[in-house]
Amino acid sequence: MTSIKDKAGEEYWSTVWKNSPLPPPVKFNTGKINDYPDKVLHKIFVKIFAGMNTRGMKLLEIGCGNSVLITYLAQQFGFEVTRLDYSEKGCQQSRLILEREKVKGNIICQDAFNPSPDLLNQFDVVCSFGVVEHFSDTSGTIKAFSNFLKPGGLLVTSLPNMSSVTGNLHKYLNRPVYDIHVPLDKNQIETAIEKAGLKLKFSSYFLAISFAITLEGLNGEKIKNYSLKRFFIKTLRYGSKLIWMVENKLGTIPPGKIFSGGIITSAQK
């Protein structure tokens, strides 16, 4: 049993999933500007899984909640999927997403740090999308997630770039949510991966500019000056969409530490 603790906590996540509608499916080939992040992400996954015969491989998503990436990975790459979350409400959301997308998969309601022994060393790929940054011991978290992998398996990790402008804006616009994150840059997550004993295979910032700022308060509480902050963020997002329009026509701008929306890595056990 491990002492690694979630800075957010199960109550926070259950409240988030309770108050959140199901997100739309991943759409990477529509050409619509709102789907541009999905287009960029699809290109990254093609790079990550290049040379792998993924059809029929077993994939586990840790901290699945209402993530839609797992259904996309099943449909596009042929993975057999399992989803794990310690929030019962998160598992319910996951079940609804699988049903909506007509994707077969297992859903397990367990703590990833105290799993059933029969889950360990069982998966070809393990993914977490926006999970590791909620734990103070980053390398310990990555090591725990890698325990689900078969030898030679691949760990795919994505997280918001909270060391960026977006992170600093969170600090002033929604400090309680900022405080449940560990702000990590690309170099720091790479170091944590290597410290966990994995071999880094891919690492990149994601989106040259993005302002993915949440104004949801902790445990359903409304934050101060919500309307004013919401107007400010919407203005920023319109600006980022203008950049996406240019990228969509002329090519992707190399993402960097200051304005990038996120980080995505893959590493081999």
Q: What is the pLDDT of residues 24-58, one digit of tens each?
A: 999 999 889 999 999 999 999 999 999 999 999 99
Q: How far apart are CA 39 and CA 18, in angstroms?
A: 28
CATH number at residue 56: 3.40.50.150
Kindly state whether residue 227 falls inside one of the protein's structural domains: no
Q: Which residue, 124, 25, 33, 108, is CA-closest to 67?
A: 25
Mean pLDDT to the nearest integer, 206-232: 84
Residue 62 lies in a domain: yes
Considering the domain boundaries, does residue 255 fall inside one? no
* The predicted structure's pLDDT at residue 18: 79
Which are the contacts of 162, defined by CB distance < 8 A and separation ≥ 6? 133, 170, 178, 181, 182, 183, 184
The rounded distance, in Å, linking the Cα atoms of 229 and 215 is 8
Residue 214 inside a domain? The answer is no
Predicted local distance difference test score (pLDDT) of residue 216: 79
Judging by DSSP bridges, how do beta strands 149-160 and 262-268 pair with one another? antiparallel
Do 93 and 71 form a contact (C-beta atoms < 8 A)? no
Indicate whether 245 belongs to any domain: no
115-150 per-residue burial string, b: 16 or more CB within 10 A, e: under 16: beeebeeebbbbbbbbbbbbbebbbbbbbbbbebbb
Report the candidate in 91, 105, 96 with the shortest Cα–Cα distance to residue 10.
91
* 27: in domain: yes
Q: What DSSP string describes 62-101? A: ES-TT--HHHHHHHHH--EEEEEES-HHHHHHHHHHHHHH
Q: Is residue 252 part of a domain?
A: no
What average pLDDT does the segment 203-220 reach?
A: 84
**Domain extent for 194:** 10-161+181-207+261-268
Task: Count how many domains the chain has.
Answer: 1
**pLDDT tens for residues 223-260?**
888 899 889 989 988 889 999 998 888 888 888 899 99
Which tops the pLDDT comparison, 216 or 174? 174
